[in-house]
Structure 1
Amino acid sequence: MAERFEYGDGPMQYAVLRTASGDPRGTVVLIHGGFWRGTPDYFDGPTPLAEALVDRGWHVWQVEYRQLPNGGGWPHTLDDLAAGVELLGRTAEEKGLELGRVVTVGHSAGGHLAVWALSRPAAVLPLAGAISLAGVLNLRLGDEEGIGRGAVTDFLGGHVAEHPDRYAAADPIARIDPALPVRIVHGDQDDVVPMNQSDTYVVAAREAGQDVALSVVEGDHMIVIDPVHPAFAALVAALEEIRALG
């Protein structure tokens, strides 16, 4: 059963909780992509993945957030994601729900948000780690290369030279927390988010002393959220690795 909870007054400020039966393996905060642009139907993109994770014994907290042009962008998308994560903690307390280790998992722009959440300001709910599924993890590089038809530039309201403070605050590669592990799954035929987004993050993370690993799977940008593709096994393995670190 899926239950909806609001963390704000806007139509895109909500999350959906799906609970696993029995003792949970942990909780996944699942974040959809769309290059920080989109419409409400983007939320349902990873729903089959959410259901498959519940079947594997994970609670799933699927977060919606404001995107461009519907009130999103800097800083509102980040504020929404942070608020959505914190609502999970309050909801679990109210429902008496045992969360276990909480891991953020995001696809594409959601991968950016999943890893960014590890260093979000004023954090209350502790996170065990993050998993990026073909995520945008190097915003400077994304701005330079114009990925997603200028998606990074639009998201942050300008180029890095115009808003270096925004990039510093929003860029996962600039906010690496060595204490928290990151796992990355990326398709070798991805022509939407280039592999260099993952590769450059891994290099920087290792230099910073973070526990990081990249799994390259066969396929395009969307296979990493397909629960019947072998990429799903890579995601489950990454979740179990982070779970075991606790």
Structure 2
Amino acid sequence: MFGLGHVPADATVAYGPHPDQVVDFYLPRRPSGLRVTLLHGGFWRAAYDRRHLAPLAAALAARGAETALVEYRRGPGAWEAAAEDVLRATRCAAPYGPGGARRHVLVGHSAGGQLALWVGTVCAGGPVPPYGPLRADAAGSAGPHAGPGDTGACAPPPVSRVVAVAPVADLLRARDLRTGGGAVEDFFGPGTGERTGERPGEAPRPADRLREADPVRLPPPPVPVVLLHGTADPDVPPELSLRYVSAQRAAGGDVTLHTLDGVGHYAPVTPGTPACERLLTGL
């Protein structure tokens, strides 16, 4: 998919002062009533940015979806920054465009799938980590770069569905498998994965960050969740999606998994492939 040419956005809006705190908007000529917020993957590493999903964003707009392609801060130990960013960007994306959208679908690919599943729970009243910028922002301090109508980081956005494509949906298992060459430990910091707790004023330990970010260990989002995962994915094992679905269904979640026979990691987000057509028609 990296061979596809970049498609320029119709507009780019900053939701914070950092260069990575921006959203690219792809606007349809004939809005269908669907709004999509798109979170890219790349194992949360700074080397991979939103540009590789620009063709998908353009394809969504061509089908009538008001599409917001989100950038967020990435890199070693960047979990708190990325978490703050995707929460703010999801709110920033919701009011933009010609308006009139009846449905808002949050779509994440790979590491972006982890973020989408997390946002789907936390923005709907799930647990907020008791540290860092999320705690301050959750109290209602939206900051000077908040999106239109912004009232706080965890004010529920009008998300009607979460779609996670080849997501890193079980962080502890992904860490044990060294998925992405140790990407989980790079992003959250090394740790055992066992919950340790914090004393008042104490910085969070990597293990606590990991567990509070792990989709498989969070309450189910209160909206339907759809996962797509290729059986021939060499980058993110399909096992991670299977484990997520099993845990969330046991907790009463509305979760559906579509396994794509013989499909790899990038085909579902590459326009022109049958796997991507499955994604586009399923929103």
TM-score, normalisation: structure 1: 0.88
Q: Aligned residue for 1:18?
A: 26
Q: Is the 8 A contact 1:146 1:152 kept in 2?
A: yes
* Contact 2:121/2:222 (<8 A) preserved: no
Alpha-carbon contact 1:74-1:157 (below 8 Å) kept: no
Stretch of structure 1 that moved more, 113-122 or 74-83? 113-122
Q: Does 1:56 align with 2:97?
A: no
Contact 1:134 1:198 in 2 (8 A): yes
Aligned to 1:27: 35
1:74 aligned partner: 79
Select which of 183, 190, 204 maps to 1:151: 183
Aligned in 2, Cα 1:206/1:53: closer, same or farther, shift over 3 Å? same
**Structure having the higher Rg:** 2
Using the alignment, how far apart are the partners of 1:223 and 1:85 within structure 2?
25
Equivalent-residue separation in structure 2 for 1:180 and 1:124 (angstroms): 12
Distance 1:157 1:125 in 2: 29
Whole-Å separation in 2 of the counterparts to 1:35 and 1:166: 16
More displaced, 130-139 or 99-108? 99-108
Q: 1:188-241 CA deviation, whole Å, 9 max, x = no partner?
A: 1111100111110111111112121111223211111111111122212431xx
Structure showing the higher helix proportion among its residues:
1
2:111 maps to 109
Aligned with 1:43 (options 41, 50, 61): 50
Instruction: Name the structure 2 match of 1:176.
Output: 219
Aligned in 2, Cα 1:227/1:96: closer, same or farther, shift over 3 Å?
Answer: closer
Query: Offset at 1:24?
Result: 2.3
Structure 1 vs Structure 2 CA RMSD: 1.8
Normalising by the residue count of structure 2, what TM-score does the alignment of the two structures yield? 0.77
Q: Distance between the aligned counterparts of 1:83 and 1:173, measured in 2?
A: 23
Matches within 5 A, 1:127-138: 127-138=159-170
For these two proteins, the number of residue pairs brought into alignment is 233
Equivalent-residue separation in structure 2 for 1:7 and 1:124 (angstroms): 17
Deviation at 1:179, TM superposition (A): 2.2
- Gaps of at least 5 residues in structure 2 are 1-8, 124-153, 195-204
Equivalent residue, structure 2, for 1:141: 173
